[in-house]
Amino acid sequence: MAPPTSPRAEAAPPRAASPRAASFGEDAAGLGRARAAAFTAPALILVAVFLVFPALWTLYLGTTDYRLTGIAASDPRFVGADNYRDVLGDGEFHRSLWLTLQFVVGSAVVGQTLLGFAIAWVMRDRSGPVRRLVEGLVLLAWILPSSVIAFLWIALLDRDGGTLNALLGTPGTAWLLDHPMACVVVFNVWRGTAFSMMLYGAALGNVPPSHLETARLAGASTWQTLRDAVLPRIRGHVLTSLLLVSLWTFNDFTPFLITAGGPDGRSEIMSVYVYRTALGDGRLGFGAAISLLMILINLVIALVYLRVLRSRRAPGNAGEAAA
């Protein structure tokens, strides 16, 4: 992003949104109702066209037997809640939900968060080439295009002539077939740790050095220091990071590039399952019903985190600024 260059943007005084202004209906910006409406209209229209309308459309599609091809493509019938009943009773859906849970908990909540924090913690008072190198490598895993990365990982894990088998001296071990979920989880930890690392790196800057110093003088162990001096200060960041990473991971499609949901659906996480039913089998109505369930699950995740966040908000915390 280029820094703002227009003089007006620079001259704009930093404004704290005052809660009073909202409650008394004052016009903080001084635009007037009509101008303010005109000002926000483009954004609202975009949101309506690209978010609200498709969401409602999905809701409608989920109640039909609409398909990609065949008679149901030209003349879909209304089937009411049948799709939802079928989805909820579908063994493949249950399996995919369970796999997604493993994927989110394993790679996002545990893997990326712990590894990201660990790197940030170790690097907190280092500077110079070592830090730049580590951060560069971690970031690289994050910003390279998925298709390139997937190709590299397939080459790494391949059964014949894969790099990993060459390194371990275990020719013929089919990692992607014997442990598809583990491979996908490890892959995603490797891929997504950068975000948590950067967030925690910034968060640790919030911890006053005097606190850490005091803890050290009082003879606190690392664990005690983390628990009593660091965590209270970065709680907001932790929750923000967990929320974002969980949602991203839940909806992530990249594992498809590595295992294609296979073998025999043993790594068919939710996004892959939707893709295969909606586009692979051409059952768009059914797929829409699953999508809606996915949205609901996303909402539940978000609500849980936000509830925890609100009840535990430490004062003066800039946790959600990262979002």
Of the pair 80, 232, the CB lying nearest other proteins is at: 80
Give phi and psi for 297, each to the nearest 5.
Answer: -65, -40
Which residues have CB under 8 Å from 142's CB, separation 6+? Answer: 191, 192, 193, 194, 195
User: Is 4 a binder of other proteins (CB under 8 A)?
Assistant: yes
Out of 23, 69, 210, 221, name the contact with other proteins by CB under 8 A. Answer: 69
CA count, 13 A, side-chain hemisphere, 40: 10
- How many angstroms separate the CA atoms of 248 and 192, rounded? 10
User: Is 299 a binder of other proteins (CB under 8 A)?
Assistant: no
Of the pair 72, 247, the CB lying nearest other proteins is at: 72
User: Is 143 a binder of other proteins (CB under 8 A)?
Assistant: no
Out of 32, 171, 209, 263, name the contact with other proteins by CB under 8 A. Answer: 263
- How many angstroms separate the CA atoms of 104 and 34, rounded? 45
Of the pair 98, 151, the CB lying nearest other proteins is at: 151
**Smallest gap from residue 255 Cβ to other proteins (A):** 11
User: Is 317 a binder of other proteins (CB under 8 A)?
Assistant: no
User: Is 14 a binder of other proteins (CB under 8 A)?
Assistant: no
User: Is 291 a binder of other proteins (CB under 8 A)?
Assistant: no
User: Is 176 a binder of other proteins (CB under 8 A)?
Assistant: yes
Site string for other proteins, 264-283 (x = CB under 8 A): xx-------------xxxxx
Report yes or no: 272 and 255 within 8 Å, Cβ to Cβ.
yes
Which amino acid, one-letter code, is at 43?
A: A
**Smallest gap from residue 10 Cβ to other proteins (A):** 11
User: Is 26 a binder of other proteins (CB under 8 A)?
Assistant: no
Residue with tokens 């997604």: 100
User: Is 136 a binder of other proteins (CB under 8 A)?
Assistant: no
- How many angstroms separate the CA atoms of 290 and 293, rounded? 5
**Smallest gap from residue 265 Cβ to other proteins (A):** 7
Measured between its terminal Cα atoms, the distance across the chain in Å is 16
- How many angstroms separate the CA atoms of 218 and 292, rounded? 53
Of the pair 44, 133, the CB lying nearest other proteins is at: 44
Site string for other proteins, 240-259 (x = CB under 8 A): ------------------xx
> Other CB atoms closer than 10 Å to residue 68's CB: what's the count?
14
User: Is 8 a binder of other proteins (CB under 8 A)?
Assistant: yes
User: Is 164 a binder of other proteins (CB under 8 A)?
Assistant: no
> Other CB atoms closer than 10 Å to residue 220's CB: what's the count?
16
State both tokens at 173.
């071990």
Query: Residue 163 CA to chain centroid, in angstroms?
Result: 29
Closest CA to 113 of 188, 179, 181: 188
- How many angstroms separate the CA atoms of 292 and 84, rounded? 9
Site string for other proteins, 29-68 (x = CB under 8 A): -------------xx-xx--xx----------------xx
Contact set with other proteins (CB under 8 A): 1-2, 4-6, 8-9, 42-43, 45-46, 49-50, 67-74, 154, 159, 174, 176-177, 258-260, 262-265, 279-283
